[in-house]
Amino acid sequence: MTRSFSPGFSVYGEKRIEVAESTTAEDGTVASTKIEYRFWNPFRSKIAASILAGLDTLYIQPGSKVLYLGAASGTTVSHVSDIVGSAGRVYAVEFSQRSGRDLITMCQKRHNVNPIIEDARKPASYRLFIDGMVDVLFCDVAQPDPARIIAENAACFLKVGGKVLLSIKANCIDSTAPPAQVYAQVVEDMRSFKFKPKEQINLGKTI
């Protein structure tokens, strides 16, 4: 679950629960407030699935600035919004106009998300919409050249020492090759762009 950035609103029909939190003031009085948490469905989010699979480090944390490529309608973006909180920012890039409309609607209740309806393959087209450099770049695009897309976006937006999370969709890269071969090639492509892959998880065998 993630602590909701926008209590009272469901993004994709997910379950929500409220829990009481007690705080003690300096004068000793105790106040009770309710906090809402949202269930994070791993069947609808690759990040949630990777956490369930034992991902060592997510890198996305409270206060992070995140560039999210392939935001779709905002299902996972909404949970990233929960994590980064009011001190963080999510720049959500989505090419599809139809999904983009849903993304924009979601952002109306989440003021820490900037929806950007542009092509992730052309980072120069949305350079003015991103304020400064980001801490984490997450890529979930159905394209045959994800390593190049990441490299070009990282060159524009990722701070020195920043981190990259990549969802590799084998069928979108080469539907004729075994998935393991495709994954290995993408890893090599990432190395050719001077990235240093640290961890790999096969979500197909997880859930």
CA 133, CA 91: separation in Å to the nearest integer?
11
Contact 158, 164 (CB under 8 A): yes
Using CB atoms within 10 Å of the CB of residue 13, give its burial: 0 to 12 exposed, 13 to 18 middle, 19+ buried. exposed
Contact 75, 12 (CB under 8 A): yes
Q: What is the pTM of this model?
A: 0.91
User: What's the CATH code of the domain at 74?
Assistant: 3.40.50.150
**The pairing of beta strand 65-69 with beta strand 30-38:** unpaired
Q: 60: domain range? A: 42-205
Among 185, 140, 129, 142, residue whose Cα is nearest residue 164: 140
pLDDT of residue 108: 94
Amino acid present at 169: K
pLDDT of residue 33: 85
CA 92, CA 137: separation in Å to the nearest integer?
10
18 inside domain: no
Query: What value does the CA radius of gyration of the chain take, rounded to a whole number of Å?
Result: 18
* 175: pLDDT strictly greater than 90: no
71 inside domain: yes
pLDDT of residue 206: 55
Mean pLDDT of the chain: 93
Q: Position of tokens 């699935």?
A: 49
* Number of independent structural domains in the chain: 1
What is the rounded average pLDDT of the residues 107-134?
96
